[in-house]
Amino acid sequence: MRRIEILHELPNGRIVGRADYQPKLKSTVFADRYRRRVLGRVYEVFGPVKKPYISIIPTDKTAKRMALRRGEAFISDEKRGRYSKRRNPRK
């Protein structure tokens, strides 16, 4: 899990944060590191490459309030596969 600094909320409901690395688009953002409460998804990455700004579309109002109050959120580095690998591939 990597930390994001939450800066402020936009009038359209999105949240703007700042990271130390370039996250992938549509990656899941969590409001809490240990309970893994989902805050939303990364919608847009803009600004300088070394410390980019991140636009997040929130999915949960309580997680949104929690992240804005704490001033931080987290992005998981884990790759969650959608499909499992098959033992015997079809021919």
| Cα within 13 Å of Cα(62), Cβ side | 2
Residue from 51, 29, 61 nearest 42 by CA: 29
Look at residue 25 and tell me whether its pLDDT is greater than 70.
yes
The tens digit of pLDDT for each residue in 34-48 reads 888 999 999 999 999
Q: Which CATH class is domain 2-75?
A: mainly beta
User: How high is the pLDDT of residue 20?
Assistant: 94
- DSSP reduced 3-state for 46: strand
Going by C-beta distance under 8 Å and a sequence separation of 6 or more, which residues neighbour residue 48?
Answer: none
Terminal-to-terminal C-alpha distance of the chain:
39
Going by C-beta distance under 8 Å and a sequence separation of 6 or more, which residues neighbour residue 13?
Answer: 57, 58
